[in-house]
Structure 1
Amino acid sequence: MTKNKVEAILEEMTREEKVDQLMQLATLFYEGSRQKGKITGPMEEMGIELNTVHNSGSVLGGAGAEEVKSIQKAHLEKNRLGIPLLMMADIIHGFKTIFPVPLAIGCSWDTDLAEMSAEIAAKEASVSGVHVTFAPMVDLVRDPRWGRVMESTGEDSFLNASFAKAFVRGFQGENLETDMDRVAACVKHFAAYGAPAGGRDYNTVDMSERELRESYLPAYKAALDEGCEMVMTAFNTVDSIPASANKKLMRHLLRDEWGFDGVIISDWGAVKETIAHGVAADEAEAAQKAIEAGVDIEMMTTCYVKHLKRLVEEGKVDEHLLDDSVLRILKLKEKLGLFENPYRGADEEKEKELILCESHRQSARELAVKSCVLLKNESVLPLHKEQKVALIGPFAESGDLLGPWSWQGSKEDAVKLSDGFKTKTKGENLFISRGCDIVTALEGEFEKAVETARKADVIVLALGEHSKMSGEAKCRADIRLPEVQLELIKKLKELGKPVSVILFNGRPLDLHGVIDEADAVLEAWYPGTEGGHAIADLVYGDKNPSGKLSMSFPYSVGQVPVYYNAYTTGRPKLEPVTEYVSKYLDIPNEPLLQFGFGLSYTTFSYNEPQISADAFNSQETLSASVTVTNTGDVPGEEVVQFYVRDVTGEVVRPLKELKGFKKMYLEPGQSEKVSFTVSEEMLRYHHSDLTFKSDPGEFVAFIGPDSNTGEPLNFSLTSSFQRV
């Protein structure tokens, strides 16, 4: 179908049909859905007519080839012009085969595996009838109190941008028009949703435009540069204006400055929520501000369908804005081939073959292995398969390993930790006890756990947060493990046996009471469908941990937000510490575990750091290198990290910024030289007038295993290049 034909459809549409095309409703409103008996109540509650449903443009939450085809067929029979529906859904870290949560994927530092996970999710979603996924979520996160940190890949804009590109490539492939196994991606939440005041969801976001551009926007831009088809607005304010009504953000920056001409969709109810924010007096004003800001699709509220037609007729809204939004939606449907094949990809037989197939499970297992981070190990792990092991804790036999936003995933399909352990050791060497619930003590369970532990040589505790303690609207002021689990650790520690803790959680935790009591700590996050197998692979040494933290673990919640690339102050805390400097009286300034940190069963040395010259100009590049050696007894992977500090800037610059990373595999005793290119472009930043340029001057490079280590390599830039 050509562009001219899409425009011809637009010309045939009535004004009412155009407005209705901007409406997104959940599947329960549509004939052909499994929930079709629930249509009447919600329609009456929202005050919409059946004709609006017939003219609507997209569906939220439809999945399953049979149901999607049924909904589409019924819709096409009722839609006057035969305009197909777009089927959209939250496919965040897997469809049926669930991968680790995105924060865990970030800890893999493996963009190839991240891309693979999105490709598999796209295959399963597409064959089930989904056209668009509301992913990737690329919000930069620095406050673990916020429940949605589990959806992000971490606290660093460079790392987040790298993963953003990978996810978009995986979801969309090279050609959406011809590749039926892919889905359109929708980057979210634009913008700065990950910085709510107090770590409280939906709360105010307030920052300078320079900080917004410097730290929070790069990952969104990276996703769009990779060809991401859609953008979802954030719930929060940006410069005191809700994102869904923010013309400067959506129209001026996203559309005019960045040139994005794809579809913008509100988050659930976000258009109407501008009334609660206090920038719209009523639904009519909310509709006017949203369409003027550039929002094309209103999700699950009715400001557009109730008021936009009248606003256009009264001359309060330019009809070109309405036409432009409709045309963008039609173009996306054209790109997905829906006019020729409205059932794009949906295939019941292929669905049975692909969903949770063995190759998908193996990929999920591989990524889960790479996503776990070894936080502590005093020669306890890996376990020997002949050791008698007491596996204790609320996650010992739990299927709650998928994490939030595993919408189509099933706990019944997840490999439990106990089942994973049973594949590694004989039954007589494994003793299992629950010990306690997530937040409550169970009568007699502490005592049973102690008796179970007495039989064993080593204790493995499976602890953490219930999946409902992370995710949207799941914010916590106290980010320690629940008290009952801390008490369980103490009681078992009294036995004098080695204690290893495996953590299942969706955010960095305050680990006091865990890391100081346990002999080993493995951060498993929510590892997904193959979690039990992956963790058993690591705990029993069939695989070597290689994950590195993509978000700092605070020493105390009183530090947050705490992150590695902070600014210095006029009175920095230096040694020896004096009184009137920037410090806490009762805790360190530094996090408990820094960005980039992660242990292995082997050790690595970094020798002979070098830089190719001590100065260069804007037309040249430098090479910074180091030789990395596996100095241990087992093969291992190391994430070599490259940081740069701008010593003096026109505005204050971070103490250190990630500029590159490489993951390398080394056999025992093997050495390999790793090099990173330093270019002038890498040294640019946003100045006080928001120009994006570099400054001549002094810089320091660091190459090391985490954000705290690496010998300094000094160099200077002698001339700069400006890009406004």
Structure 2
Amino acid sequence: MAAMSVVISSCAAQAKDKVSADQHIEALIAEMTLEEKVGQLTQYSDVGDTTGPLPDDETQRQKMDMVRSGTVGSMLNVIGLDDIRTIQEYAVEESRLGIPVIFGFDVVHGYRTSFPLPLAEAASWDLAMMEETARIAAREAAADGLHWTFAPMADISRDARWGRVMEGAGEDPYLGSEIAVARVRGFQGEDLSAPDTIVSTVKHFAAYGFAEAGRDYNTVDIGTVTLFNIVLPPFKAAIERADARTVMNAFNVLNGIPATGDAYLQRDILKDEWGFDGFIISDWGSGVEMIDHGFAADGEEAAKLAILAGSDMDMESNVYAQHLAGLVERGEVPESLVDDAVRRVLRVKAELGLFDDPYRYIDEARAEQVLLAPEHLDAARRMAERSVVLLKNEPSLLPLKQGERIALIGALAGDKDTPLGNWRGMAEAHSAVSVVEGFEAAGLDFVYEKGADLEIGDAGFANPVVVNTDDRSGFDAAVEAARTADKVVIVLGEDARQSGEGRSRTRLDFPGVQQELLEAVHAANENVILVVMSGRPLVLNWADENVPSIVQAWHLGSESGHALTNVLTGAYNPSGKLPMSFPRSVGQLPLYYNHLSTGRPDEIPEVFWSHYIDEENSPLYPFGHGLSYTDFDYSGLSVAADGSEVAVSLTVTNTGEVAGEDVVQLYIHDRAASVARPVRELKGFQKIALAPGEAREVAFTLGPDELGFYNGRGEFLVEAGLIDLYVGGSSAASLTQQIDYQPRPASE
């Protein structure tokens, strides 16, 4: 205790004398034993109650003893102010140097207030709103004592089989970069030392979204052109433009090397080339998993490979705690590398203000005021409205009108849990507003039938409530309700736990007997509006061919029912656009709009061109697609080059009878380059609102950052040549002009 008091007094004196945080950190490192240094690089998960007497669980007892000894730098999954305070007291008041613990948690799309899944939010293309929801999530998590989130996921993915697409921003690196920046800024705010901000983690570095066959944790094998142009840009943007303070490495191998042991990714690119001065944390157990990858012989070698490669903090694999000190003592690992990693961890703790006040995030009054605040629920509704994508509306069954008799069908319509989605933070189970409740609140004339029930089991993480696989007992009642209704709204899709980490699928149709229910209901009444709740793109071929109106609703969070009702009734005019292409068949995957051309791209009389003999090449719904209850016209495209910059402008007109929002999208195609370029690449977008009949000029500026690209050596090139520009409401935009780009200094 005496030594701890000396350190605290020293900290106070340093603050008073305005001694820099770096000097304070160097003084601490000089005082630390090797075991204490390794402790700062060790993170453990909570396994039980920690308040009061230590629990009988021996593992938990050992972890708390390590906190007391100053050999645990971070903990995750500690929930509740009492537990956090107790563990922080162990660290600050009982360890020799009193270095505070940093507490992390997966705050992915909300904390107590649940927002739409990240993929759903990406469909809003509303960067300001995404920053706001991350800001609210940070405010709530910080009010509950947490310092750090493992979000956003910046992985680009082109494969809807991979369950974690729900956690990212889709298939495009430009959109993904803008969203990563917005979310990091939302979590971290303008000042990390403010008690309502939390540290953001961009993950997973790198290429986790390219797991072969869409199978989670699987091998990744991609070329360096894809790595530099598709995978890395969102991470680079989050670090260089938003100053993300932590990065999580990935489970997968890349070029045969597990990311946790990849010095090229972590040291050469991230820390050296990009100048990242925060710290890298492993994913859960990824250090020890290098043994199963066949890269490390044992835990000791795994620890050595990870620290040499630049992985600073070890999450729950225990390899640093068990082996790192011995490796240093034997001279196999330079202590300077350990010092560098410790310096990075302490720097982030200092930026959070934890050395000034380790209890600054623990405030019961603030927690009571902030968690589930009315303004947070209002933001959840607004975000959910903007995340809905109208895929089809022919004829215009939507919006619903007062006085229409509606049959509302589907177990998911009455479910209050599925809308919360996977990785739901601390949202209370079954707390979402259901579609049934939304219809009731809006005063709609409807009758509700489940049709196919939910299978109610253990609602825990590993054993979800799922859409029943074979019960058709409710079909007759649903069909009868449909037969006597003016319109049918049927809600089908995935349960919250059928997408997410470890939830890869080989079939992307509706689970269970939901497709049979859809066809039976449609046979009774063709005026069907299909609402799809899912965490990924599904295969909707039959619905597209037969159902007049289709709405992609994702998992929309706490206010799901109210938001969906507002969209279906036209109280909010849908404005969402797809961040991922929707396939016609699983056999097309991976599927993405920004693909390269082949040497035989066009149909020829014989079979020898790039195609399937049993399916079209094109997606069912392309990237960027999304309809409105009004129509937008694009005209007057003007393109002018001035040196290395290209000015693009056009006029967008709302030609319909209601106000609406549109996402104006700008794509390019570099005709011929030293590296083959995609057929189209998103390089700009703006979300605008227009009154009926209103016209507005929309302008973009393209420069070397947008018109250049990386070669396979990671060199950024800006080349002269012909470039096609396309502007419109999706990646299938048809308004086009061509420029002969000749980069040179701009004219005076």
TM class by shorter chain equals over 0.9
CA distance in 1 between counterparts of 2:584 and 2:551 reads: 17
Deviation for aligned residue 1:68: 1.5
Is 1:699 the counterpart of 2:723? The answer is yes
Aligned match of 2:623: 595
Alignment of 1:678 with 2:688, yes or no, is: no
Aligned residue in 2 for 1:491: 520
Question: How many angstroms does 1:689 deviate by?
Answer: 4.2
CA distance in 1 between counterparts of 2:68 and 2:476 reads 61
Number of corresponding residues: 710
Answer yes or no: is the 8 Å Cα contact 1:693–1:720 preserved in 2.
no
Shift of 1:706: 0.4
1:538 maps to which residue? 567
Alignment of 1:421 onto 2:439 = yes
2:127 paired with 1:111: yes
CA distance in 2: counterparts of 1:699 and 1:528, whole angstroms: 42
- Code of the aligned partner of 1:334: A
How far is the alpha carbon of 1:483 from its aligned partner?
Answer: 4.7
- State the match for 1:471 in structure 2: 500
Corresponding residue number in structure 2 for 1:391 = 408
Distance 2:48 2:280 in 1: 22
2: CA distance between counterparts of 1:444 and 1:53? 61
* Structure 2 CA distance for aligned equivalents of residues 49 and 720 of structure 1: 64
Does the residue aligned with 1:189 lie in a helix, a strand or coil?
A: strand
Is residue 433–residue 561 contact of structure 2 (8 Å, CA) maintained in 1?
yes
Per-residue CA distance 1:109-153 (angstroms, 9 max, x = gap): 000000000000000000111101101111001000000000011
Displacement of 1:52 after TM fit?
A: 7.8
Note the C-alpha offset of 1:688. 4.3
Name the CA shift for 1:54/1:622 in 2 (closer, same or farther; >3 Å): closer
Query: Any conservation in 1 of the 2:408–2:446 contact (CA below 8 Å)?
Result: yes
Match of residue 426, structure 2, among 390, 408, 411: 408
How far 1:5 moved relative to its partner?
A: 2.1
Distance in 2 of aligned mates of 1:85 and 1:577: 68
Q: 1:457·1:497 contact (CA, 8 Å) conserved in 2? A: no
Amino acid at match of 1:544: N
CA distance in 1, matches of 2:507, 2:744: 47
Cα deviation, 1:284-320, whole Å, max 9, x if unaligned, reads 0000000001111111111111111111110000011
Match of 1:586 in 2: 614
Match of 2:317 among 292, 301, 307: 301
**For 1:145-174, what per-residue CA distance to the aligned partner results, in whole angstroms no more than 9, with x for missing partners?**
000000011100000000011001111111
Rounded Cα–Cα distance in structure 2 between residues aligned with 1:517 and 1:33: 62
- Are 1:202 and 2:233 matched, yes or no? no
Residue by residue over 1:4-54, the C-alpha shift from the partner in whole angstroms, topping out at 9 and shown as x without a partner, is 2221111111111111221111123784289x526414678x9x9747875
SS class of match (2:92)? helix
User: Could you tell me how far apart the structure 2 residues matched to 1:529 and 1:643 are?
Assistant: 35
State the alpha-carbon separation in 1 of the partners of residues 87 and 639 from structure 2.
Answer: 61
SS in 2 for 1:513: helix
- The residue number in structure 2 matching 1:342 is 358
Q: Give the structure 1 partner of residue 38 of structure 2.
A: 19
Q: How far off its partner does 1:690 sit?
A: 3.2
CA drift of 1:668 comes to: 0.8
Which digits, 9 at most, give the CA deviation of each residue in 1:580-617, with x for residues without a partner? 1111111111111100000100111111222135xx53
Question: In the alignment, is residue 609 of structure 1 matched against residue 633 of structure 2?
Answer: no
Q: Give the CA deviation at 1:423.
A: 1.4
Give, in angstroms, the shift of residue 334 of structure 1: 1.1
CA pair 41-718 structure 1, distance change in 2 beyond 3 A: closer
Output the CA distance in 2 between the equivalents of 1:536 and 1:404: 22
Change (3 A) 1:481 1:288: same
Go from structure 1 to structure 2 and tell me whether the alpha carbon gap of 1:70 and 1:155 turns closer, same or farther (over 3 Å shift).
Answer: same
Aligned equivalent of 2:657, options 614, 619, 633: 633
Paired residue secondary structure (2:626): coil
| Structure 2, unpaired ranges of 5+ | 1-14, 16-20, 454-466
Comparing 4-13 with 375-384, which one deviates more in the overlay?
4-13
Q: Please say if residues 205 and 237 of structure 1, whose CA atoms lie closer than 8 Å, have aligned partners that are also in contact.
A: yes
Does the CA-based 8 Å contact 2:46-2:77 persist in structure 1?
yes
Q: Let me know the Cα RMSD of the aligned residues.
A: 1.8
Greater mean alpha carbon deviation, residues 604-613 or residues 665-674: 604-613
Between 502-511 and 19-28, report the one with greater CA deviation: 19-28
Instruction: Tell me how far 1:183 sits from its aligned partner.
Output: 0.5
Bigger Cα displacement from structure 2, 104-113 vs 24-33:
24-33
- The one-letter code matched in structure 2 to 1:214 is N
For 2:352, the aligned partner's letter is L
Distance in 2 of aligned mates of 1:413 and 1:33: 31
Give the Cα–Cα distance (whole angstroms) in 2 for the partners of residues 196 and 263 of structure 1. Answer: 25
Query: 1:206 is paired with a residue of what secondary structure?
Result: coil
Moved more, 705-714 or 442-451: 442-451
712, 715, 719: which one aligns with 2:736: 712
Task: Normalising by structure 1, report the TM-score.
Answer: 0.95
Alpha-carbon offset, residue 577 of structure 1:
5.6
Give percent identity, aligned residues only: 43
| More moved, 634-643 vs 339-348 | 339-348
Q: 1:442 maps to what in 2?
A: 471
The residue that corresponds to 1:10 in the other structure is: 29
What does the per-residue CA deviation read over 1:357-376, in whole Å, with 9 as the maximum and x for residues that have no partner?
11000001001000000001
**1-side partners of 2:218 and 2:166: how far apart?**
18
Amino acid in structure 2 at the alignment position of 1:381: L
Change (3 A) 1:53 1:585: farther
The equivalent residue for 2:537 is: 508
Instruction: Give per-residue Cα distances to partners, 1:154-207, cap 9 Å, x unaligned.
Output: 100000000011001111111112x21110111100011100000000001111
User: Given that residues 131 and 183 in structure 1 are in contact (C-alpha distance below 8 angstroms), is that contact kept between their aligned partners in structure 2?
Assistant: yes
Q: Hey, what's the Cα distance between the residues in 1 that align with 2:297 and 2:704?
A: 49
- AA matched with 1:340: D
Structure 1 residue 394, shift from structure 2 partner: 1.7
- For 2:389, which of 373, 377, 380 is the aligned residue? 373
Task: Note the alpha carbon deviations across 1:549-569, whole angstroms, 9 max, x for none.
Answer: 010001111011110000001
Amino acid at match of 1:579: V
| Stretch deviating more after TM superposition (489-498 or 21-30) | 21-30
- CA distance in 2 between partners of 1:627 and 1:675 (Å): 9
**Aligned mates of 1:245, 1:421 — CA distance in 2:** 53
Contact 2:70–2:99 (8 Å) recurs in 1: no
Question: Cα distance, 1:517 vs. partner?
Answer: 2.7
Query: Which residue type is aligned with residue 413 of structure 1?
Result: S
CA offset digits 1:391-426 (Å, max 9, x no partner) = 110211101101110021123321111000111125
- Structure 1, residues 313-372: CA drift from partner, whole Å, max 9, x if none? 100000111111111111111111111211122211111111111100000100100000
Equivalent residue runs for 1:151-230 within 5 Å: 151-177=167-193, 179-225=194-240, 226-230=242-246
Residues in 1 aligned to 2:433 and 2:357: alpha-carbon distance in whole angstroms: 37
SS of the aligned residue for 2:488 comes to strand
Shift of 1:440: 2.1
Cα deviations across residues 694-718 of structure 1 (Å, max 9, x unaligned)?
Answer: 1111111111110012222110112
Report the counterpart of residue 564 of structure 1 in structure 2: 593
State the match for 1:148 in structure 2: 164
Task: Measure how far apart 1:442 and its partner are.
Answer: 2.7
Q: In structure 1, what is the equivalent of residue 347 of structure 2?
A: 331
TM-score in terms of structure 2 length: 0.92
Task: Give yes or no for the alignment of 1:321 onto 2:332.
Answer: no
Letter in 2 for 1:417: V
Quote the offset at 1:497 in angstroms: 4.0
